[in-house]
Amino acid sequence: MTVEDFDEFIDDVDSSVIAAFQEKEIIDPKAVKPEGWDDDEDGEWSAPTIENPVLTAFNSVSGANYGYRFAYTTAPEVLAKLKCKSQGLFLYRSPKFVSPKDGDRPRERFPSAELSDSAVSNWLKAKAQPLVGIFNHNTKERYAGPVLVVFMNLDFEKNEKTISYVLKRMRKVAAGYKPAKGAKGLAFAVAPLADMSYELGDYGLASKSTASDVLFGIRTGSNYDFTYYSSAEFDPAVKFDAKSLGAFAEAFSKGELKPYVKPAAEPEPPADDDEPSDEEAEEPKDEM
């Protein structure tokens, strides 16, 4: 990985997890010269190499945390950029969503040289999402508590101005709902409307244009046992701005919202038993 590769990798809508260490293989510290080894006859003995235990642990961690973006590097220039002299595990929040002035830290470092699946998993769950983050196929299950989701066009090239407008107002509201000690708070996230439109019905929302709509609702629960709240049910004429978003979030926090209930699917009409079967329809009729 070059510095250019590193910069390109972290420039994503999701967070990036990067392990840094000096070499892929190391001399086996447990290797012992075999008894009876004769340098004259067997050659000069040298200890075998093994995979760097840090890389082995990193591969286990990355396999155990589906949905996160992992990479590793041994390049000296990248280690220098990371200010890492030997080894470390780093989390970079998405530069497209991170907002230092709102309290987001662009980077986090895992606080131990020892990597374990459970410890890293808990660290990622606690650190990966900024104040307002992405809500998509890979990240949505990271939100174990209530999350207010704004569905919109997330094309950063063609819709940058609107995205900036939405994120600025979301952060203004989200700052007042950061989790306190002992409380889950209310998370805030944006979802790509074109990719996640199939979920709109769960929230009681409907899109007229995936290019310009800005729709929002709240999801609570976890492990696929979710309850949804619809901004359209809260106010049928609601339009996105800081005031309407704040009012919706406040109503939820006060327990004033009723969960949205999907209308039951209409049953299929019963088959008409009076209709002749194919065989009956093909039978010749007696002439009169």
Per-domain boundaries in the chain: 1-26+47-128, 131-261
Segments in the chain below pLDDT 70:
179-184, 265-269, 271-288
pTM of the model: 0.81
Torsion of CA 246, 233, 153, 240, to 10 degrees: -30
**Residue 138 vs residues 67, 167, 244: alpha-carbon distances, Å:** 5, 20, 28
Mutual orientation of helices 160-174 and 242-253 as an angle, nearest 10°? 40
For 131-261, CATH gives 3.40.30.10
pLDDT at 145: 87
Q: Model confidence over 43-61: pLDDT tens digits? A: 888 887 878 888 888 899 9
1-26+47-128 CATH: 3.40.30.10
N-to-C CA span, the chain: 91
* d(C-alpha 135, C-alpha 155), whole Å: 14
What is the model's pLDDT at position 217? Answer: 95
Q: Tell me the residue type at 208.
A: K
pLDDT for position 222: 79
Question: What is the per-residue pLDDT for 179?
Answer: 65
**Tell me, what's the pLDDT at 181?**
42
What is the structure's pLDDT at 110? 93
Establish whether domains 1-26+47-128 and 131-261 are of one fold: yes
CA 97/CA 163 separation, integer angstroms:
10
Pairing outcome for strands 147-152 and 187-192:
parallel
In this prediction, residue 272 carries a pLDDT of 62
Q: What is the pLDDT of residue 205?
A: 93
Other residues' Cβ atoms within 10 Å of the Cβ of residue 166: 23
Task: Report the pLDDT value the prediction gives residue 229, as an integer from 0 to 100.
Answer: 94
Give, to the nearest 10 degrees, the angle between helix 53-64 and helix 117-127.
60
Tell me the pLDDT tens digit for each residue of 171-220: 999 998 876 544 458 999 999 999 999 999 999 999 999 999 999 999 99
